[in-house]
Amino acid sequence: MLSAFFLAIVAAAILLFYLGAGRNARVLAVLTLWAVLVAAVSLTGFFRDEKLGLPKLMLGVNLPAILYVIYLYRRLDAGKLSQNYLLAVHSLRVPVEIVLYGLFLEGKVPRIMTFEGWNFDILIGLSAFALLAYRWYSGKGINRYFYRIWNAAGLVFLTIIVTLAILSAPSPIQQLGFGQPNTAVTRFPYILLPALVVPVVLLSHLLGLKSTGRKNMKQVLKKKGQAG
């Protein structure tokens, strides 16, 4: 049940980011093919090694994920981004936190990786819902400076949970969660959390900052003026 719920989150992340990126077919293709590839390799048990699982994950999943984040960030046009859909991507952090708590109850991640521990990422998810509600009901945009600060804060919270996940996983560098280590992320379907969901959330923040940069704001306003 929990795994099916998580797979629904993965599918929603792909769809919402595709819509947020201006319905870019390249985005849909890259994310879908990457998810299928990681899932196929994961199902062979390649990442389940007690000592080498995390190093394999970082080299075989995290490194390629960083590369496609850089690729898509550079390729996507800031003027075609949809702020609403990118905010919707961040709202998925709430169900992700529910999954992490479920995994904690199953003994697959430590408490510190949940909202009962040191993971406060759920606050960004809840605030994303609030920002979406504000945009829908007011019909107004979000203040540029506030939006940049919010995205920067989201990156900090994301960095915290990623650090907790790495230091809690069984490996030579493990520093946390020895009583109940983070074993979930080396197994299907939860390997798609570091492989796809986290990179998509990261990209959504980076694109939010990119779209509200001074240079891009001028380009967007110029395009709107030409269209009018």
At residue 190, the pLDDT reads 96
**Two tokens, residue 21:** 């990126």
DSSP letter for 143, please.
Answer: P
pLDDT in tens, 156-188: 999 999 999 999 988 888 899 899 999 999 899
pLDDT in tens, 104-131: 999 999 999 999 999 999 999 999 999 9
Which amino acid would we find at residue 192? L
Tell me the three-class secondary structure of the chain, residue by residue: CHHHHHHHHHHHHHHHHHHHCCCCHHHHHHHHHHHHHHHHHHHCCCCCCCCCHHHHHHHHHHHHHHHHHHHHHHHCCHHHCCHHHHHHHHHCHHHHHHHHHHHHHCCCCCHHHCCCCCCCCHHHHHHHHHHHHHHHHHCCCCCHHHHHHHHHHHHHHHHHHHHHHHHHCCCCCCCCCCCCCCCHHHCCCCCHHHHHHHHHHHHHHHHHHHHCCHHHHHHHHHHHHHHC
At residue 221, the pLDDT reads 41
pLDDT at residue 90 tops 60: yes
pLDDT at residue 49 tops 90: no
pLDDT at residue 226 tops 70: no
* Burial class for 51, CB neighbours closer than 10 Å (0-12, 13-18, 19+): exposed
pLDDT at residue 224 tops 70: no
| Residue 9 to residue 157: CA distance in whole angstroms | 19
Mean pLDDT of 43-62: 82
